[in-house]
Structure 1
Amino acid sequence: MLNPAVSQAAAPMTAAARSARAAEFQTAGQEIAEVLRLIQEQLQPQRRIVRAGETLYQAGERFGNLYVLNSGLFKLINLSSDGREQVVALKFRGDWLGFDGIAAGQYACDAVAMDTGEVWVMRYDAVLAACALRPALLRVLHEAMSREIGRDRDSLMSVCSLPADARVADFLRYWAESLAKRGLRTDQITLRMTRAEIGNYLGMTLETVSRSLSRLARQQLICFTEKGRRDVHIPDVMALVSFVQSAVAPAPATLQ
């Protein structure tokens, strides 16, 4: 049961809204499966097994391939101007990797596996040739690029507009919903990132991330299932959604 203070600050979603969101996830899952089937049939990509910590490509490496993640999780890491590593993106099943290398002819970041998975490898020139002959494949490529732009925008908006607790809640919401779209359970997720990496990704310190997670747990929006505190139980993802929405809602007008 949610803390009453949370329930007042974030109005629960209606049954209709929950049903619509569930249908949206189911449709997204079907679309991901269809896209993977199309890529497999039309491009016949090379399959590559990756393990946690393995680097798929590195910043500065000559660009030549695009990649599609068939299973597993990836993080994209960039170097800041002072030499620190910055996590700039997370990739789930069905996501493309390597778009950052097209413009300059070299990859702009490191792509690092967070767990064991399978990546499909495709020569960029082969992708272009196939797209010229198959409009459906070209549409898939353009949609993937558009989604990446949208994610970058949403990530920037989160960093710029949300307070710390809502930023962490939105991160957990994004992770859980990304799993939901791929037909995976969302009530318990294993964070394949350290607190420091989460803070790095969200523009926060490790200590702030830890405090925010503890506050979310006290408000019963999440709980930790093991001593290591990497397995997070989410009783209700929609409660996280409402919590984040309440953080960006305009304050009620007051009479002067």
Structure 2
Amino acid sequence: MERLDQIIRKRQRVEKGDLLYRQGSPFTRLYAVRLGHFKTYQVTRNGEQHITGFQMAGEILGLDAISSGTHQCDAKALEDSEVCEILYSDLEQLFVEIPALLHQFHRMMSQEITRDQSVMLLLGNMTADQRFAAFLVNLSSRYVARGYSATSIQLRMGREEIGNYLGLTIESISRLIARFKKLELLEVTNREIKILDLPRMRGIAAGAKS
């Protein structure tokens, strides 16, 4: 861990709304999110955004650029955030010195691929209820992995951004929130969501009737 700390070049503050990197820019480093939340998105030829993910503290940004050498999306801070920069050439040298670290890195990339595949399932085969439930269950599991509550989620993204990510309209997201509240699955206060029945929410995400 001491050697890993040594290759972290600097901590970088990223203010809300600022870009960490742009789609098409050269890849030279990874970014470990230390504080805050980000969204990644691609911009189509006609200027429309397609959100590809939301990242939080403890996660890595830039992994998608390793194979191509260029970033495949924009990364924008959803709130005032901080990242640790890791020069990829330094990391590769560290893999040679510490083979076990390379194994851990492969595990992390595998988890990232699995998450991307889950998103494809969300957009391809699931109903609107399933998509929204799966989105909340996914956030819950990621919060738990970082030592936070499984049922109390502070959303850093707006309803329009959630809809964009899930392939739904903002009106659909509003209807889903109202429906889940009526079913006593959720309590909502501004952007704070409290999941009242996590096992049932998992069931809906898996295809059970709501």
Question: For residue 31 of structure 1, what is the aligned residue in structure 2?
Answer: none
Question: For residue 104 of structure 1, what is the aligned residue in structure 2?
Answer: 68
Q: Segments of 4+ in structure 1 off by > 6 A?
A: none
Gap change, CA 1:99 and 1:246, over 3 Å in 2:
closer
The 2-side partners of 1:246 and 1:102 are apart by 35
The 1-side partners of 2:102 and 2:198 are apart by 34
Q: Aligned partner of 1:106: which letter?
A: T
Is residue 2:186 matched to residue 1:222?
yes
Instruction: Spell out, residue by residue over 1:61-90, the C-alpha distance to the aligned partner (whole angstroms, 9 max, x if none).
Output: 121111111222111111134321011012
Instruction: Spell out, residue by residue over 1:133-162, the C-alpha distance to the aligned partner (whole angstroms, 9 max, x if none).
Output: 111221122112111110010111122121
CA contact (8 A) 1:95 1:144 kept: no
Gap change, CA 1:69 and 1:182, over 3 Å in 2:
same
The structure with more strand, counted as a fraction of residues: 2
**What are structure 1's unaligned runs of at least 5 residues?**
1-36, 249-256
CA contact (8 A) 1:76 1:112 kept: yes
CA contact (8 A) 2:40 2:53 kept: yes
The 2-side partners of 1:215 and 1:161 are apart by 21
Q: Which has the higher contact order (CA 8 A, sep 6+)?
A: 1
Over aligned residue pairs, what C-alpha RMSD do you find? 1.9
Alignment identity in percent? 33
Under a length normalisation based on structure 1, what TM-score does the superposition of the two structures give?
0.75
The structure with more helix, counted as a fraction of residues: 1
Question: For residue 140 of structure 2, what is the aligned residue in structure 1?
Answer: 176
Question: For residue 204 of structure 2, what is the aligned residue in structure 1?
Answer: 243
Q: Superposed, which structure 2 residues align to 1:91-240 within 5 Å?
A: 91-225=55-189, 229-240=190-201
Instruction: Spell out, residue by residue over 1:195-241, the C-alpha distance to the aligned partner (whole angstroms, 9 max, x if none).
Output: 1111110011111111111111110100112xxx3221212322211
- Report the number of matched residues: 209
The 2-side partners of 1:38 and 1:191 are apart by 34
Gap change, CA 1:136 and 1:66, over 3 Å in 2:
same
Bigger CA radius of gyration: 1
Secondary structure of 1:61's counterpart equals coil
**What are structure 2's unaligned runs of at least 5 residues?**
none
